[in-house]
Amino acid sequence: MMSELGLFCPSCGGTIDRERQRAAGREIVEWESSRQNVLCSECYFDQFELVKIPDKFLMQICSVCNAIHIKNRWNDIREGLEEEVIVGMIERKLEVHVDAGEIKWGFSLKEIDKKTKQIDCKFEGEVRGREIVETKKIEIEIIREICEICRKKSGGYYAGEIQIRSAARVPTEKEKNRAVEIANSIVAKRKEMGDRNDFISKIIEKKEGIDIRISTSKLGQKISRSIAEELGGSLSTSETLVTEDRDGNRIYRIAYLIRLPAVIIGDIIDIGDERGPILVNSVGEVLKGICISTGESYKGKINDKRLNIIQHISSANRTSIVSMDDEYSMQILDPETYHPITITRPTFIELGLKETKVIKTRDGVYVLPNDE
């Protein structure tokens, strides 16, 4: 063999087709450095492998929430995550033959059994002017574990507790439900943003209100502020030392106490005023309402200690109006005894009305506005 490199294939001794040598043109110099590159096309493609990829991968999945563990982090399962993880695993391990330029590839995923999936990959590239297609099967072995969040949840972990209470009454069902709704929607939003640490560990119904246990103090702050903002009332926090960790750091649990306003709209309250019971129609700094014995409007600051909540208008009875004798008095049936009684007619009771809402207190029977 003369030193005219590339003329004869070092593997089979055959002549290398001159067409190919010409097509390769400038690359001929580089070819000289590698035996591989002076092989004839048949020998070259005979042993050619477009890509190298391991035939097995491991995937850690939480057996409780199905989160996938990727690069030291658990990721909540969502549409397309598994595919992204597979693409990442393949791209990290994929070796493409130097003679191939850009390659295209794709895959399909098959579930073999609970512990195994199979990826069917197809790689396409161009080498020495030839289209090469290669398929590879990769097995994914699924390792079931429990992620740290599920571990915390199952252990009842909580960093703090939001306590919904109210002075002089108990929070209503509506208020308690709304507080839980607010908490859930904030957690859902955090989760959507990819925060796995924020969760509600427990909701405890109590005689005096409701407790919402949360996993982080940041979450406690956010939820308690939103609840106090929407439902009114005051918010105060306090810390309790729970334990010390191994490094001697003190671990505190935070209580977020929300005291809802003592009265709500529709409450009939007695504030020890000679004007008698008040039907509340606005709460806040200043309480507004109607004195139900006369129909006059009321406005003033109230002191929780002086306050007695008689009843909420939604639970008031109805009674018949027997007659309206004059402008100032009316006869109705006592809601308990059904005996006719005469009371003063408040201004909100229109002449000719046949029926009205009514409450009976220690001090007497009162009619109520009908549109409240």
Tokens of 106: 């794709």
CB of 202 to Zn ion, least distance (A): 17
Q: Which two tokens stand for residue 325?
A: 């004798």
Task: Report CA Rg, the chain.
Answer: 40
Return the number of the residue (153 or 222) whose C-beta is nearest Zn ion: 153
Interaction of residue 321 with Zn ion, rule CB under 5 A: no
Q: Which of the residues 127 through 156 are near Zn ion (CB under 5 A)?
A: 147, 150
- DSSP helix/strand/coil, 76: coil
Side-chain-facing half-sphere of 49: CA atoms under 13 Å: 6
Shorter beta-carbon distance to Zn ion: residue 41 or 237: 41
Shortest approach of Zn ion to residue 304 CB, angstroms? 45
- Judged by CB under 5 A, which stretch of 26-34, 64-72, 79-87, 162-170 contacts Zn ion? 64-72
Residue (130 or 137) nearer to Zn ion, CB: 130
Nearer to Zn ion, 17 or 95 (CB): 17
Question: Is residue 159 at the binding interface for Zn ion, with CB under 5 A as the rule?
Answer: no
CB of 238 to Zn ion, least distance (A): 32
Q: Contact between 12 and Zn ion (CB under 5 A)?
A: yes
Q: Which residues of 174-209 are buried (b: 16+ CB within 10 A; e: fewer)?
A: ebbebbbebbeebbeebeeeeebebbbbeeeeeeeb
Out of 6, 37, 38, 40, the residue judged to bind Zn ion by CB under 5 A: 40
Provide, rounded to whole angstroms, the least separation between the CB of residue 150 and Zn ion: 3
62 scored as a contact of Zn ion (CB under 5 A): yes
- Whether residue 153 contacts residue 67, with contact meaning beta carbons closer than 8 Å, is answered with no
The string of DSSP letters for 313-370 reads GGG-EEEEEEE--SSSEEEEE-TTT--EEEEE--TTS-TT--EEEEEEETTEEEEE-T
C-alpha–C-alpha distance, residues 63 and 146, integer Å: 6
Does residue 11 bind Zn ion (CB under 5 A)?
Answer: yes
Closest CA to 215 of 149, 145, 147, 146: 149
Q: Minimum CB separation from Zn ion for residue 38, in Å?
A: 9
Q: Which residues bind Zn ion (CB under 5 A)?
A: 9, 11-12, 14, 40, 43, 62, 64-65, 67, 147, 150
